[in-house]
Amino acid sequence: MSRFVLLGHPVSHSLSPVIHAAAYRALGLSHHYDAVDCPDDDALAASISRLRRGDIAGANVTVPHKARALVHADVTDELARETEACNVLACRDGRVFAHNTDVTALSLELAQFAPGATNAVILGAGGAARAAASACARRGLRRVSVFGRRFEDQDSTAPGARALAEMGARVFAWPATPHANSALIDELAVADVVIQATSAGMRHGPPGQAVADLVPWERVPASALAYDVVYTPAVTPFLEAARRRGLAARGGLGMLVGQAAAALRIWLDVEPPLAAMEAAARAALEEPT
């Protein structure tokens, strides 16, 4: 029996324990998966030390530690280096390996729900936004525009800007007020995909209405996909606004299950039971809070 964990803050909302428990049951394994709240870097470092010692067999990493976890890793894979963020840690021979399976998972979501997309707008500037930009690049999208609060005046030295530029994405300032950013309006007018890549609207996270209100939905093409990386609640203010516009709208549950499946491949070298994992996640979302 092995123990796997999720490291982040907060983590009480996470469906990862439910998803991984369902996977272990389906695979006939007796492993355990726990959410470990790490309010600061000391707590994160302590958990990664337990991983290095073998007390923990593998770890997922979520906000706000996806970038900081790289500091504690010995080896990073290509996607973790590219996005400057990781969401999976594994230990082999006393060395901690950092992976980014968010990119792979979102790439699969885009392939399924926006197969012909060429232009994307990403709202956010953190690890999820960089994962989204990387996924768009891997899908061959030609025009990727990222709007973040840290990119005032298109500051190329802001954290994350270099990584985004190397992926071929362009960075823009976050709108100061609803509908006030002409660049956002221009980019949305030709968008095939609009990705909400912040924690806004997440249960126990910051409110989501402000981000939804910043988007001039009437300017977004009716054929565009609105994708929110947030998965709980199932319908966020961003998705509600997109649906009122008549857009196809997807929450981040598929991305969550996909990244968990990729983590299982890394940790256990098994083929993940995707149907069981998704069914457990959907059932948990439907439970009253």
Mean pLDDT of all residues in 15-39: 98
Higher pLDDT, 252 or 180: 252
Q: What is the pLDDT of residue 177?
A: 77
Output the six-digit token pair for 275: 């149907």
Mean pLDDT of all residues in 238-263: 98
Handedness of CA 258, 261, 263, 266 (dihedral sign): negative
Range of the domain at 148: 103-251
Q: What is the pLDDT of residue 156?
A: 61
CA distances from 101 to 78, 156, 256 (A): 11, 26, 10
For residues 134 and 235, state if they share a domain: yes
- Residue of 13, 31, 65, 66 marked catalytic: 66
The proportion of the chain whose per-residue pLDDT surpasses 70, expressed as a percent, equals 97
For residues 243 and 270, state if they share a domain: no
Mean pLDDT of all residues in 95-111: 98
The total number of structural domains in the chain stands at 2
For residues 264 and 206, state if they share a domain: no
pTM over 0.75: yes
Residue count of the chain: 289
For residues 108 and 247, state if they share a domain: yes
Mean pLDDT of all residues in 98-126: 97
pLDDT for 198 beyond 80: yes
For residues 177 and 215, state if they share a domain: yes
Range of weakest confidence among 44-48, 98-102, 147-151, 191-195 = 147-151
For residues 236 and 141, state if they share a domain: yes
Handedness of CA 147, 162, 200, 23 (dihedral sign): positive
Residue 39 sits in a domain of what CATH number?
A: 3.40.50.10860
Per the annotation, the verdict on 66 as an active-site residue is yes
Q: What is the pLDDT of residue 13?
A: 87
For residues 229 and 149, state if they share a domain: yes
Report residue 193's pLDDT band, with 50, 70 and 90 as the boundaries: very high
Residue 179 sits in a domain of what CATH number?
A: 3.40.50.720
Mean pLDDT of all residues in 49-67: 96
For residues 135 and 197, state if they share a domain: yes
| Distance of alpha carbon 285 from alpha carbon 136, whole angstroms | 27
Mean pLDDT of all residues in 230-240: 95
For residues 155 and 281, state if they share a domain: no
For residues 85 and 109, state if they share a domain: no
Handedness of CA 27, 31, 37, 40 (dihedral sign): negative
For residues 90 and 109, state if they share a domain: no
Mean pLDDT of all residues in 171-199: 90
| Distance of alpha carbon 178 from alpha carbon 59, whole angstroms | 39
Q: What is the pLDDT of residue 142?
A: 96
For residues 165 and 54, state if they share a domain: no
Mean pLDDT of all residues in 247-254: 98
Handedness of CA 56, 60, 65, 67 (dihedral sign): positive
140 torsion bin: left (phi>0), alpha (psi -120 to 50), beta (else)? left
| Distance of alpha carbon 65 from alpha carbon 229, whole angstroms | 17
DSSP line for 165-225: HHTT-EEEEPPSSTT--HHHHHHHTT-SEEEE-SSTT-TTSS-SHHHHHHS-GGGS-TTPE
